A and B are shown apart, each in its own frame.
Chain A
Amino acid sequence: MNLDLRIPMGLMFTMTGAILTAFGLATRDNTGLYARSLGIDANLWWGIVLLVFGITMLVLGRRNQMRMMNQPPGAKPADEGQPRRGH
């Protein structure tokens, strides 16, 4: 399949993470809001986690796509797919 899932997935988590981080930063001082999450700014911290995860996925997906583009069309990448014999 020519669409590497890690790219849309990475994008989605990066955007979700960015939204949560920004919102968490903006509401950092709102103790009433974070009373239910035990005083922890859950949005900020979990937003950062998702941001890191999203960017990692994005980088991995991009790198794989670059490698696929450098391969001649129709050929399978050397390290996946068909078994290598006699190495």
Chain B
Amino acid sequence: MQLTSVDWLIMLLYFFFVLGIGFALKRYMKTSKDFFQAGRALPAWICGLAFISANLGAQEVIGMGASGAKYGLETAHFYGIGAIPAMIFVGIFMMPFYYGSKARSVPEFLRLRFDEKTRALNACSFAVMTVFSSGISMYAMARLIQALHVFDGLFRSLGWPQDWIFTFSIVLSAVIVLLYIFLGGLTSAIYNEVLQFFLIVAGFLPLVLLGLKNIGGWAGLKASLPAAYMHEWKGMLHASTNPMGVDIIGIGMGLGFVLSAGYWCTDFLVIQTAMASENMESARRVPLIAAIPKMVFPFLVILPGLIAIGLPTPHTTEVVHNENGVIYHEISVVPEVAQEGRGLIPAKVNPVTGKVMLDASGKPLLDYDMATPNMLLHYFPTGILGLGLTALLASFMSGMAGNVTAFNTVFTYDLYQSYIHKGAPDKHYLAVGRWATVGGILLSIGTAYAAINFNNIMDTLQLVFSFVNAPLFATFLLGMFWKRTTGHGAFTGLVAGTLAAMAHHGLTLPMEADPGIHGGWITVLHRYPSDMAQNFYGAIFAFSANFIIAVLVSLVTRPRPDEELVGLVRSLTKMPSHEHLPWWKRPEALAAAILVACAALNIFFA
């Protein structure tokens, strides 16, 4: 890839502004509340855009493109019945308790509602997860920079060895994220997440427009792909009739009700942005505002994948033409990996032998993660290419930054202040928060390097996270809507849910996979048509186990008196009233409008 000075200028400009925002905010960071909670003073639209941007990391931008190329429009379920209903639920029903309880973090809410041990369990697992996730994000970014040869030219002209590119990418992103969070705390992270949001739109929208124009618009895209690719709902009733291999129960219950709701409603990574807003009304509106651009995002992140697989596969061609009796042979050589791939998606190459990897039936395996990056390289001339690459870097950084701010808050408030050093002056906790940021980033760098040496570490970590996360939503649902739920019930439910998720994974296996990391490590009792199906059903089992055990244990343990639960449980809390607002300005009206629009989109893509 040839980058010119225009591309570098745009990238440098972005880095300059990201750091500039951190420096400009430094003087406002006086108390720990300013640092960890952005002073609870940000307008709803800023928090709303940060709410989705915190999740716009590598897994979203690269992963959704890859998934679009692999499964087609069905990927939009992650939005249509995944994210958007969950965002509406958290805004309308759960935010009054998060924001109204004055808890400073999600684990702290669990302590207020249940007890110390439930908080400790959640805080510890969450802190570990955020550190590892930001490490994984860093690793993925460095690998992508290597694969796209972004810094190769720069390193050549500086005379540095090419092996340093991986370390350089990791250190560069770590230093930038560290600096702006160290200086400006959550406010800085949120401001930069909004900046990154607009940058991602600015970088990917022209890509989609050019791609669609090239392939002949929507009709052309349809014509170039198998019919199943272009439907979101068709064939959903049975696993064998859709590319993802999932049925309606897996999608509806597993993805919609358990996984997405669990993520968007309980993960402090996203909830922290809503809790930073200036009043209850804004806090409830934050996830709703976030849902509006979230509806448009399938176009930005999934379509590049679809277009990439729909384009013709490049082949080595030889054109012979005769000019004044002289015969010219013009050969354009296409590398083997591109020829063996499909559309713009290259085949996977075994890093040891350098040969194209084949699946069981002898067809080449495709490297879907390259769908979106290859689209950028294919369509963008120098100039706008710099913008596109900056958008890609921005997405990695926003994902990392959200993890880092969530980590420093949970570490400082829920671990340090609660169990290590109680009752220190506020200044002390502000300093601890700053240094927790440094510590968290150093641990993430460690994870990124561990990922190079142990091939499976990323898959293993993500698997373990899914065991911990799958049952979470049941705990919050019971806690907020059933006042009888006790601390013992919540704690045993969480443990039981995680164990159920592990047992389910150990006993089942997707089709065409060997026992091991993909499941079946106890014994294979059942085979799912795809890993997605296994994942969704595992979540259903974990959720149900948590729900049932929590209810049973709660019924035999002593509940807390009602007066201690005011503001934490729905039946004992006066819901915030927005009667002073005209009806169309109330959060409920916005929620209804979004639901209608979301249903319309689902029907359009059915």
Binding site for B on A (CB under 8 A): 1-3, 5, 8-9, 11-13, 15-16, 19-20, 23-24, 27, 33-34, 36-38, 40, 42-43, 46, 50, 53, 80-85
Contacts and interface: CB of A to CB of B under 8 A. Distances in A.
B187 to A, nearest CB: 6
Residue among A9, A40, A85 with max Cβ neighbours from chain B (10 Å): A9
Interface of B: 6, 9-10, 13-14, 17, 20-21, 24-25, 28, 38-39, 41-43, 46, 187, 191, 194-195, 198, 202, 206, 210, 213-214, 278-279, 281, 378-384, 387, 580-581
A85 B46 CA distance: 25
Contact of A38 (B9, B195, B213): B213
Given A2-B28, A46-B384, A12 B17 contact: yes
B38 A1 contact: yes
Contact of A43 (B9, B191, B383): B383
A1 B42 contact: yes
Contact of B202 (A13, A15, A85): A13
B194 A36 contact: no
B10 A37 contact: no
Given A11-B17, A13-B202, A81-B278, A19 B381 contact: no
Contacts of B382: 33
Contact of A8 (B24, B383, B384): B24
Contacts, number: 98
A23 B17 contact: no
Contacts of B580: 83-85
Contacts of A20: 6, 10, 383-384, 387
Nearest to B24: A3
Contacts of A46: 202, 206, 384, 387
Contacts of A19: 6, 9-10, 13, 383
16 contacts: A1-B187, A3-B191, A8-B17, A9-B17, A12-B13, A13-B198, A20-B10, A23-B383, A34-B381, A36-B380, A37-B380, A38-B214, A40-B210, A43-B383, A46-B387, A83-B281
A11, A16, A50, A84: residue with the most chain B Cβ atoms closer than 10 Å: A16
A37 B198 contact: no
B194 A9 contact: yes
For A34, A42, A53, the residue with the greatest tally of chain B CB atoms inside 10 Å of its CB is A42
B24 A42 contact: no
A37 B278 contact: no
Specify which of B20, B43, B202 lies most central, judged by the most chain A CB atoms within 10 Å of its CB. B202
Nearest to B213: A38
Contacts of A2: 28
A75 to B, nearest CB: 14
Contacts of B13: 12, 15-16, 19
